[in-house]
Structure 1
Amino acid sequence: MCGILLHYNPNIVHEDRFLEFNEDECISVDESNGTSEIFNAIIPHIANRGPNYSSLRLSEKYHTAWFSSVLALRLPFTKQSLCVEDRYVLQFNGELYNKEIKQDQNDTQFIASLLSSSTDVIHTLTQLDGEFAYTIYDLRETKIYFGRDSIGKRSLCFKMDTTNGLYVASCTGNIEGFENCLGGVIYIFDLNERTISEHSKIIQRQYEVVDLIDENMETLDSMKEKLYTVLNESVSKRVTSIHPLHIESSPISVLFSGGLDCSVLVALICEQLRIFNPNTTVELLTVGFENPRIGMLPKDVPDRKLAISSSEVLKGLYPDIDIKLVYIDIPYEEYLKYRPTVINLMYPKQTEMDLSIAIAFFFASRGSGFIVDDVTRDEIPYQRKGIVLFSGLGADELYGGYHKFVNRSLEELSAELTGQINNIHDRNLNRDDKVIASNGVEVRYPFLDHNVVQFSTQEIPINYKVNKLILRKVASDILHLGGISTEPKRAIQFGSKSAKMTKDGNKHGTDLLK
């Protein structure tokens, strides 16, 4: 995973420079380099996303500044930004899972090889399979391409005006004027025209949930087997592509409430580890907040109780895998301390609901907590070691998990789910990626793999998606998760009690923050 920041301004003259910053090295960039105040204000956010390496590239001829950061997850290590064939300057954030990627090649190098063999940038981008964001400066054609994958699993935003030119960044903090990029859209900035016109936005994929009904549920068994297969493949490629350079044996972390979606992922991860690396630790990150409004402590929140019981089920199913339940308790004072940080990170999202969700993910991904000794029951301080986190986001949108779907007709449910999966880039992913990545980790979403989404939207009958029936069948009949398969949906802000923290508890989730 990496951080991306690009600024093109024909009114700024840079001195050609390439500065490098290694892990734990102080990053010092100021306007004496020819960079702008906005550019320099964004740099700390980008640097936090990739703590292993950062670089600043300045070009006098092309009036552009690039700042890139790298979290090393795949060999061989590749510095960014990357010059390709003296024609392109590439920034890439994310992971690719294309089968064509060679064993001695990482995803950034794979894109570079595609660019080297083709003059069609758009064709190159539409071949990519994964979770990513990018900028590509075509020096010959004087165009800058930028965007996100078909779902929008990595955050990216841009700001353009006649005075300051074009900014593109993974995360900006509270700087006005930035617009989140849409998922699955390739933006093309023509430097000669200095515009991003509507016809230059090219939709890669648009998902539509079919309204097929299987009244007698004749295909339920075959569908659950197929869903298990595509989910298993999705998890497999996300597990086997982790090759950190700086940690010999890096655990895999899971954002864990104990509910259906994340428990299914843990089971699938454990099945993969049995094949590829049974010595890998799986860290289950469960977060709970002290909520003074209702007088509840972290140990008593609903997600904590469920996480404990579900983790015991998973440990029983996979005794050969080292599964650690990491308790992350957040006192109210700590919530207040980091509240402004999270509000800044999740910008332009500014509602009470956005904060309650984002702050739960922020603390969970930070991973500072404790584990409980199985014998003595002592609490032992523990810091998350995994730098790849798995999330169950997407399951509710694909399989009808939200409470508001309960009274919908099947026709209405089909339309609702179509809107949910196509809007997830803006409603969830931009916000979540910004706060999670700020802790120097990468989040992966197996339910949002293109093949999983394509199968789930196009082939599964809509009546199998009432209260996530199809996923519950996978959990109970194939993964043997027992009672976990019947757990009701509970939003993270209510399960962790990060919502409505103060006596002014009559606020609505849609209310703007004050």
Structure 2
Amino acid sequence: MPEENDTAVVSQRLSSCSSSTEILSFLSTVRGPWGFIYYQKAGDCLWFGRDFLGRRSLLWKFDAEVKALTLTSVGAHCAGPAASAWQEVPAAGVYRIDLKAVSDAGCVTFEVYPWAHGENGPSYSCTQAILESVPSGCTAVINRSGLALTSPVCPLNTSIPESFNQEEMHPNAHPCDLEQLPAGRERGEAVKRLIGVLSEAVRRRVQALPSQGNSDPSDDNARIAILFSGGIDSMILATLAERHIPAHQPIDLLNVAFQLQEPRKQKESAKKKHKEKPTEWRTGGTESLTSSPFDVPDRITGRAGLKELQQLNPERRWNFVEINVTKEELQETRRERISHLVHPLDTVLDDSIGCAVWFAARGAGLIAGDGDQEPFTSSAKVVLTGIGADEQLAGYSRHRVRFKTSGHQGLVQELAMELARIPSRNLGRDDRVIGDHGKEARFPYLDEDVVSYLNSLPAWEKADLSLPRGVGEKLLLRLAARQLGLGQSAVLPKRAMQFGSRIAKMEDHRERASDRCTRLLTE
């Protein structure tokens, strides 16, 4: 319903429900990201919750002194005893509070309606996640009626052929180039279907846009932006988005880079000898020296990806926005804004990705003009992000480690764990961070139909970790990229955003991703 306000539509439907069963039945049919708080006047009840994958932020806290429960999408971080009061509402079901009972009893009890896969009922881990994470001073009980929401995605296919159990494949036993890899009829059909379902997911997200009122139809500002590194996930999103966006509209490719640290001081004589030359910066790994402190790995692959897109679609205007962040700007903005948006998450990884996504989504940088670069700020209100591809298609190095130690059985278990924890990992954080700019994060790889299709496939059709890096992980997606006409980007190995943008190298190099980040603490 592109011409209608989705909040108004959902509110009207909820208002027409006369029982808990009807409310749950309706919420089970809603697709896409949602987080809601709804007062049901008829029963004097408060309902709230998040979608199955937790794509929208919702926080809660309970103040024991005044006996008040607060629900919000963003909660500012503060120093002192209340610093850790905010928690993310688990995306494990919806919650109902009988306000009259609360008033009579003087305590807050949540009645929980968990997600369930068809007739299987809610999982034990799902139920435990809810019961263990309620705010201090509150209690939670699973509803006595046994009612539950129906999951919008099908269960994960955990089957493993006996041949794989008997003889695991070994690394480097296969061709290391996608062109040499025979897709086979079965996998070829899977590639075709993946492109179809993912293309439809992108179409929904680039065509259902906020109304611009009486805007000029000839306005050539981009309405869609993509968090863009030039890696396979963002390249496929850009390629598919191009299919569904009017030809006259540009697409903004948001590429963020954090200033590289100056190399160690050279000897005085060497400085004098080369004083006329520009400073050289190391990007790390095997990348070459560069004359710009912002030529980080993601900037280099981003430019290469831009060239691929321009060759595939030369008529499209691609705004490659180079977003350059200095250490001083990072520290100031983190202190004043980003720390509050990332909260209540508090790890080094949350800090790195939260900051990188905030600056990228702001969209303020430089684009190529007539000769020189010129300042540019993206006006797009919808930002596509590639979250979800690695989790579902075995894109992380930990998947390769698990496969090496435990074979396909271990890989299937790892993918099941990945899927189960997607709602509690980073989607709420990214929703808060991107939403701070008045923009909306959209996640095509986490479209319910995409997740269901990938869940229906056995693990060995989605990835073959006996193949080398850049081929075996996310194999199905790489084959799809080749079919879409992409080149070198189809075989780029995974590089995490915090490393590709070089934010992880900007401050304390000795930290681990899971460490608590002291930089997120406000004074």
Task: Identify the TM-score tier after normalising by the shorter chain.
Answer: 0.7 to 0.9
Q: Is the 8 A contact 1:258 1:310 kept in 2?
A: yes
Unpaired stretches in structure 2, ≥5 consecutive residues: 78-82, 103-108, 111-139, 165-182, 264-280, 283-291, 465-472, 519-523
Counterpart CA distance in 2 for 1:213 and 1:319 is 44
Pairing of 1:224-239 with structure 2 (within 5 A): 224-239=191-206
- Please give the residue correspondences for 1:2-151 in structure 2 after superposition, counting only pairs within 5 Å: 101=1, 104-119=3-18, 120-151=22-53
Cα distance between partner residues in 2 of 1:462 and 1:189: 44
1:386 to 374, 380, 383: 380
Taking the aligned partners of 1:336 and 1:365, their CA distance within structure 2 comes to 17
| 2:323 aligned with 1:328 | yes
Cα deviation, 1:183-225, whole Å, max 9, x if unaligned, reads 2411112212331122149454276431335779551000011
From 193, 202, 212, the counterpart of 2:101: 193
1:34-78 Cα deviation digits (max 9, x unpaired): xxxxxxxxxxxxxxxxxxxxxxxxxxxxxxxxxxxxxxxxxxxxx
- Residue equivalent to 2:446: 448
TM-score computed with the length of structure 1 as normaliser: 0.75
Asked whether the equivalents of residues 390 and 443 of structure 1 are also in contact (C-alpha less than 8 Å), the reply is yes
Give the number of the structure with larger relative contact order, counting CA–CA contacts within 8 Å between residues 6 or more apart.
2
Find the aligned partners of 1:124 and 1:411 in 2 and give their Cα distance: 37
Q: Tell me: CA distance 1:187–1:319, structure 2 relative to 1, closer, same or farther (3 Å).
A: same
Residue matched to 1:367: 363
> Judging changes above 3 Å, is the alpha-carbon distance between structure 1 residues 192 and 500 closer, same or farther for their aligned structure 2 residues?
farther
Q: Based on CA coordinates, which of the two structures has the bigger radius of gyration?
A: 2
SS at match of 1:140: helix
Could you say which residue in structure 1 is the equivalent of 2:295? 300
Match of residue 509 from structure 1: 513
Kindly tell me: are residues 509 and 199 of structure 1, through their superposed partners in 2, closer, same or farther at Cα, counting changes over 3 Å?
same
Q: State whether residues 385 and 441 of structure 2, in contact with CA within 8 Å, keep that contact through their aligned partners in structure 1.
A: yes
RMSD after superposition: 2.1
Q: For residue 475 of structure 1, what is the aligned residue in structure 2?
A: 481
Contact 2:412–2:459 under 8 Å retained in 1: no
Q: Quick one: structure 1 residues 473 and 213, their matched pair in 2 at CA, closer, same or farther if it must change by over 3 Å?
A: farther
**TM-score, L = length of structure 2:** 0.74
Distance 1:406 1:489 in 2: 12
> What is the letter of the counterpart of residue 37 of structure 2?
T
Could you tell which deviates more after superposition, 156-165 or 309-318? 156-165
Contact kept, 8 Å, 2:157 with 2:457, in 1: the verdict is yes
The alignment partner of 2:425 has SS state of helix
Share of identical aligned residues, percent? 31
In 1: Cα distance, 2:14 partner to 2:433 partner: 31
Q: Tell me the CA shift for residue 311 of structure 1.
A: 0.8
Q: Give the counterpart of 1:183 among 81, 86, 91.
A: 91
Q: In the alignment, does 2:56 pair up with 1:154?
A: yes
Matching residue of 2:176:
none
Pick from 41, 62, 75 the counterpart of residue 172 of structure 1. 75
Question: Which amino acid in structure 2 is aligned with residue 344 of structure 1?
Answer: H
Consecutive aligned runs of 4 or more in structure 1 exceeding 3 Å deviation: 200-204, 212-218, 246-250, 293-298, 460-463
Does the CA contact (< 8 Å) of 1:293 and 1:501 recur in 2?
A: no
Find the counterpart in structure 2 of residue 89 from structure 1: none
Counterpart in the other structure of 2:393: 399
**Letter in structure 1 aligned against 2:142:** H
- How many equivalent pairs are there? 406
Match of 1:290 in 2: 259
Q: CA deviation at 1:463?
A: 4.3
Q: Tell me which residue corresponds to 1:279.
A: 248
- Higher alpha-carbon deviation: 301-310 or 238-247: 238-247
Contact 1:298–1:330 (CA<8 Å) still a contact in 2?
A: no
Confirm or deny that 1:465 pairs with 2:437: no
Can you give the 5+ residue segments of structure 1 that lack an aligned partner in the other structure?
1-100
Corresponding residue SS for 2:315: coil
**Residues 223 and 460, structure 1, Cα contact 8 Å, conserved in 2:** no
Structure 2 counterpart of 1:299, one-letter code: F
Partner of 2:498: 493
